[in-house]
Chains A and B, each alone.
Chain A
Amino acid sequence: MKCNLTATSCAAPHIEDRQSTGLLPTGRWLSEDDLIRCLNHAEVSQDLKGLFGCALNSDSRGGNWWADRKEATRSICGCLYTNIWFHVIEEPERTSLRARMALPSNERLNSIPVVDREWRLFLHQVTAGIKKAGRPYGAEQFLNRFIRPQLLRSLNGFARIGLARPEGESGRCWLMLDSLFPQPREEWLDGLLGAVVDG
Chain B
Amino acid sequence: MESWQKSLELARHCVAEEIAHGVPLPGEDEDLVRSGLLDSMAWIGILTAIEAAAGIHNFGNPWPAGRPQSLRALAELIVEGATAPSPGSATRADGRSAGRGSMVCVIGWGRALGSRLIEAAGIEAECSLAPGTIRDRAGIASVRRAGDGEDEVTLAQRAAEAALEKAGVDIPEVDLLVATSTTFLRLPSLAATLHSRLLLPESSAAFDVGGACVGVVQALATAKGLLATGSLRHALVVAADVPSRRLASSSAPGEFRGLFGDGSCAFVLSRLEEGQPAKSQGPDGRPLRGPGVEWRLGDFVWECAGEYAASLKLQIPEGAPLPGFPPLQVEFQGEPLARAALRQMERLVENLETLTGKPRSEVAYFALHEPNPRVIEILAHRFGVTLEKATPISKTCGNLGAATCGVNLCEALAKVEASSLGSPSLPPPIILVAAVGPGMLSGGTWVEIYSRS
Contact = CB atoms under 8 A, between A and B. Distances in A.
Contact of B199 (A85, A136, A137): A85
A85 B164 CA distance: 14
Interface in B113-159: 153, 157
A4 interface: no
B282 A136 contact: yes
B307 interface: no
A95 interface: no
A61 interface: yes
A199 B453 CA distance: 13
Contacts of A145: 165, 170, 288
A183 interface: no
A106 B282 contact: no
Contacts of B202: 61-62
Given A136-B283, A197-B282, A108 B196 contact: yes
Given A61-B202, A136-B283, A83 B197 contact: yes
A110 B68 CA distance: 66
Contact of B291 (A82, A107, A199): A199
A164 interface: no
B2 interface: no
B284 interface: yes
Contacts of A136: 282-284, 286
A85 B193 contact: no
Given A136-B282, A136-B286, A100 B199 contact: yes
Given A136-B286, A196-B282, 20 more contacts: A62-B202, A83-B157, A83-B198, A83-B199, A84-B199, A85-B172, A85-B199, A102-B196, A102-B197, A106-B153, A106-B188, A108-B199, A136-B282, A136-B284, A145-B170, A149-B161, A197-B282, A199-B289, A199-B290, A199-B291
Nearest to B172: A85
Nearest to B171: A85
6 contacts: A102-B198, A107-B196, A144-B170, A144-B171, A152-B161, A199-B289
Interface string A155-199: 000000000000000000000000000000000000000001111
Nearest to A104: B197
Interface string A123-140: 000000000000011000
Interface of B: 153, 157, 161, 165, 170-172, 188, 193, 196-199, 201-202, 282-284, 286, 288-291
Contact of B196 (A106, A197, A199): A106
A141 interface: yes
A141 B288 contact: yes
Interface of A: 61-62, 82-85, 100-102, 106-108, 136-137, 141, 144-145, 149, 152, 196-199
A46 B157 CA distance: 19
Max chain B Cβ within 10 angstroms of own Cβ: one of A137, A149, A198: A137
B108 to A, nearest CB: 14
Contacts of A62: 201-202
Contacts of A101: 199
A82 B197 contact: yes
A198 B291 CA distance: 10
Given A83-B157, A136-B283, A196 B288 contact: yes
B199 A102 contact: yes
**Which 7 pairs from chain A and chain B are nearest by CB?**
A199-B290, A136-B282, A136-B284, A85-B199, A106-B196, A100-B199, A137-B282
A197 B291 CA distance: 10
Contacts of A144: 170-171
A103 to B, nearest CB: 9
A102 B201 CA distance: 13
Contacts of A106: 153, 188, 193, 196-197
A61 B201 CA distance: 10
Contacts of B199: 83-85, 100-102, 108
A145 to B, nearest CB: 8
B320 to A, nearest CB: 23
A197 B280 CA distance: 11
Nearest to A102: B197
B142 to A, nearest CB: 25
A144 B161 CA distance: 12
B286 A197 contact: yes
Contacts of B201: 62
A61 B188 CA distance: 20
A136 B285 CA distance: 9
A131 to B, nearest CB: 13
A61 to B, nearest CB: 5
A80 to B, nearest CB: 11
B441 to A, nearest CB: 30
Nearest to A103: B196
Contacts of A141: 170, 282, 288
Contacts of B289: 199
Contacts of B165: 145
A102 B161 CA distance: 14
A8 to B, nearest CB: 37
Contacts of B286: 136, 197
Contacts of A84: 199
Nearest to A197: B286
Contacts of A85: 171-172, 199
Nearest to B286: A197
Contacts of A83: 157, 197-199
A37 B164 CA distance: 33
A82 B170 CA distance: 17
B313 to A, nearest CB: 31
